[in-house]
Every structure is written in C-alpha cells, then in structure tokens.
Amino acid sequence: MSEATTQDILIHTEAGVCTITFNRVEKKNSLTQAMYATLADTLGQVEADATTRVVVFQGDPAIFSAGNDIGDFLNAPPATQESPVFRFLRALAGFSKPIVAAVCGPAVGIGTTMLFHCDLVYAGDNAAFSMPFVNLGLCPEAASSLLVPQMLGYHRAAEALLLGDPFMAEAALEVGLVNRVVPPTECNTVAQAQARKLAAKPLSSLVETKRLMKKGQLAPVLERMAEEGASFGRMLREPAAREAFTAFMEKRLPDFSKV
C-alpha cells in the first residue's frame, strides 16, 4: 500500500488500485494547471507500474468537478500541446489499463468530457453533467466533439454541446455514459468494489481486452483533441470568450449581441 498527497489531489494505491481524489472541495474541485500536471504524471507512473492495475477517479459526494479554475485558466491558458491539460488528456485517452470513475454532484466541462475516456462510470443520483463550452465562447475539448455524438446520438449531443444544457444521472444512464446510478454516499464504495474486482483479474487480459475494444479509436481521438486544442486556444483570444469570462468574474450574464 502506498499513499501520496498533494494539496488538491489525493493519490492512494492499495491492492492494485490507484485512487485519484479531487480534493479541492472549497473551490468545487475546479482544476488548475498544477492539478493537471499531477494527474498526467500519476497516469504515466501507473501505466509503467505492473503492480497497479486499475485507476479510480473520484470527488466528493456533493461535487465531482466544476471544470477548469477560471482564474488559473486565465492567468495561464494552455498555450501548447505540452500544456498540463493536454498532457493529461492524451494520457487519459491512451491509458491501457481500466479506468473507473465515481461521479457525484456537478461534473462540468472536463468533469464530464473525461468520463468518455473511462471504462466504468458510477454516478450518484445527484450527478449533473454539463459541457457549457459554447456558453464561454469556446469549443469542445477532450475529443468530446467526436465522442459525444457517437455515444449520445447527434441530436442529444447538440443539446449538450450547442446549448450546453445539463443532463442528470438517469439520462446519462439511458445513453450509456454511466453504468449505474446509486445514492451519493454509496458511489465511491461501489466504484472501489468494481475496481477491486478488476484488479483481481490478469493484467494482460485486461489490457488486451481494452485494446481490442478500442482498436482504431485512439488515432482519431488524438487527432480530434489536437484540432479542438488549436481551435480552443484561438477562441480564447477572441471577443466572445473575453466577454464570457469578464461576465463570469463580474457575476453578470454575458452579452454576445456584438460578437
């Protein structure tokens, strides 16, 4: 058993399961560049460690993640493909071992899009998924412009990505984004139990089965991530995003009538 703690990410490894906990509840588990770097580095370490077979992502029973920390994001926007957020997304997409997620409360932006790269997702009945990129004058990330229509179908994806409308746990269960909906107080326990089941199985079989199920998907996903990242970076500098973020900081509704 091993355990490592950073200020905002807790990492605990036991019985072949590495549990990564978002631990910034006072900021609604919003993610900073430093947190993305820790996440990317941890996935790389687990990938190389033959004794660790499964990763679990979890948050708090009241909040999974509010997405990017806006202040940190504006102070240090992801400028290149080697930015911590893009390193994390590539590591997540290419991770060869099973990934389990336990999601309770709001899962905003990357809090939702990262789930499309997980293998098993368990949701509290208070989970609320949203991808409000357009509302921020931006575009999707994490290859969600590819993966969301594939899973939800085009029209549901349009509601989620063009309107930014949130959808609840039961709707996520219906479209296959989550495997099971449980009470929030039980969600992490259920995810851990499933992760322990996976960790008891032969690693070679887990890795090969995941590889076969995802065969042919990684290259398009990485290509779409790169394309989204280029568009995302460009749009960050444009008037719509500036108005959206200014309005957010000033706690008012944005006015896009002139952009």
Domains annotated on the chain, with CATH: 2-183 (3.90.226.10)
Q: Which of 99, 88, 93, 102 is nearest to 42 (CA)?
A: 88
- Mean pLDDT of the 172-192 span: 98
- Mean pLDDT of the 179-189 span: 98
pLDDT in tens, 128-141: 999 999 999 999 99
Starting at the edge strand found earlier in the chain, the sheet holding 106-108 runs 106-108, 128-130, 167-168
- Mean pLDDT of the 171-195 span: 98
Q: Is 32 left (phi over 0), alpha (psi -120 to 50) or beta?
A: beta
- Mean pLDDT of the 154-158 span: 96
Beta carbons of 20 and 63 less than 8 angstroms apart:
no
Judge whether residue 81 has pLDDT over 80.
no
pLDDT in tens, 23-32: 999 999 999 9
pLDDT in tens, 34-79: 999 999 999 999 999 999 999 999 999 999 999 999 888 888 777 6
Judge whether residue 84 has pLDDT over 70.
yes
Q: What are phi and psi of 216, to 5 degrees?
A: 85, -5
- Mean pLDDT of the 78-95 span: 90
Predicted pLDDT at 259 = 86
Predicted pLDDT at 4 = 46
Q: Pull the structure tokens for residue 238.
A: 């444009």
Place of tokens 């509840």: 25
Strand, helix or coil for residue 79: coil
CA distance 119 to 206: 11
Q: Which residues are registered as beta bridge partners of 10?
A: 5, 21
What does pLDDT average to over the chain? 94
Q: Which of 14, 102, 10 is nearest to 52 (CA)?
A: 14
Judge whether residue 95 has pLDDT over 90.
yes
CA distance 122 to 181: 6
220: how many CB neighbours lie within 10 A of its CB?
A: 12
Handedness of CA 86, 222, 39, 187 (dihedral sign): positive
Which helix (H) or strand (E) segment is 98 a member of?
none
Kindly provide the residue ranges of all beta strands, DSSP E only, lying in the chain, ordered along the sequence.
2-5, 9-14, 17-22, 54-58, 99-103, 106-108, 120-124, 128-130, 167-168, 180-182
Judge whether residue 125 has pLDDT over 50.
yes
Provide, rounded to the nearest whole percent, the portion of the chain with pLDDT above 70. 97
Predicted pLDDT at 79 = 66
- Mean pLDDT of the 77-90 span: 86
Output 72 or 119, whichever has higher pLDDT: 119
Q: Which of 182, 57, 186, 60 is nearest to 125 (CA)?
A: 182
Q: Pull the structure tokens for residue 101.
A: 């997620």
Predicted pLDDT at 77 = 76
